[in-house]
Structure 1
Amino acid sequence: MIQRIQSIWFFLAALTLVLMLFLPIATKTVDGSEAKIFTNGLHHFLEGKTGKVLNVEVFLPLLITHIAVAIICFINIFNYKKRSFQKRFAIVSIILIVGFAFWCSIYAKELPGGVKGASFGIGAYLPAAAILFIVLGIFGINKDERLIRSAERLR
């Protein structure tokens, strides 16, 4: 059923991936300006002029992949009638998130001077949280399967 706990876990996974759109992955201060890596690109913030953002580079393939992975996690909520498919789809989502996180780490090297001396923001840790939520969703699916098997034994 859609009100089961795994629906909440899959929604939280999709929500953490959406939050990653707005939170920086890594930040580095170079020559009086601050460079931040988001999933949509590399942004330079000039400290002398508040509110001045120079978007140096756009990572369009990474942004499209990010949105696709978040949508896949959200779509998995509505596969509740097919539990085995939902579980396989969740495992595929975990693999996609791991690949996406690896790809983000490759793009983090685009910071001026590399990642040495950079501070990683909360956006760098959100894929791990999304994976955790999906694993908890898989545990919820397994719990539902055990409940259904025990109910069938009672008939």
Structure 2
Amino acid sequence: MQIQRIQTVYIFLALVAMMIFVIVPYGEVDYLSGQPVVTEKLYTMYEYGLLIPAAAAVILLIVDIFLFRNLPLQRTVLTISLLLTLCCIAVVCFILFKQAGAEEMDAHFSVWDILLPVAVIFEILGLGGISKDVKLLNSYNRLR
């Protein structure tokens, strides 16, 4: 019996997307209060409210790659990682829209923000791969 472990590839691609997101700027703000408009790039590493869930998602994805022998635990860890990635999306939107608007700044998304939805897509594909493996194992158990 051979199980196709495509979910490991999807989890690895989600891991790469999240690791790149932690390093690159996720947006920029223009300070409107001064006469010369000052633009500042926002990095995940300097915003602890975003760094903590992003780093936790990266750590869980690393752990999840090595949980291929325990599919229920792998599914649980991947679901938690998916929730943390969705939390990162919510925090980015909060920082760029609510907080920047309250402090009289003009906020812009970065091109790199596409990495978060890409990571979510790969995590969902990984969950689908785990479900297919569970169904395949159950069908083999019925044949015994």
| TM-score normalised per structure 1 | 0.74
Identify the residue that residue 62 of structure 1 maps to in structure 2. 50
Q: How far does residue 69 in structure 1 lie from its aligned partner after superposition? A: 1.6
Q: Unmatched 5+ residue regions in structure 2?
A: none
Amino acid at match of 1:130: A
1:148 aligns with 2:137: yes
Q: How far does residue 32 in structure 1 lie from its aligned partner after superposition? A: 4.7
Query: How does 1:60-139 map onto structure 2 within 5 Å?
Result: 60-108=48-96, 109-110=99-100, 113-114=104-105, 116=106, 118-139=107-128
How many percent of aligned residue pairs carry the same amino acid? 27
8 A Cα contact 2:25 2:41, kept in partner: yes
Identify the residue that residue 40 of structure 1 maps to in structure 2. 45
Q: Unmatched 5+ residue regions in structure 1?
A: 42-58
| TM-score normalised per structure 2 | 0.79
Q: How far does residue 110 in structure 1 lie from its aligned partner after superposition? A: 4.1
The structure where helix makes up a greater share of residues is 2
Structure 1 residues 3 and 150 mapped into 2: Cα distance closer, same or farther (>3 Å)?
A: closer
Per-residue CA deviations over 1:15-34 (Å, capped at 9, x if unaligned) read: 10100022221124453532
In the alignment, the residues of structure 2 paired with residue 121 and residue 2 of structure 1 have an alpha-carbon distance, to the nearest angstrom, of: 39
Per-residue CA deviations over 1:66-106 (Å, capped at 9, x if unaligned) read: 22221111211111111112112211111111112212223
Number of aligned positions between the proteins? 136
Amino acid at match of 1:113: E
Give the SS at the match of 1:80: coil
RMSD: 2.4
20-29 vs 103-112, which deviates more?
Answer: 103-112
8 A Cα contact 1:23 1:122, kept in partner: no
1:23 aligns with 2:14: no
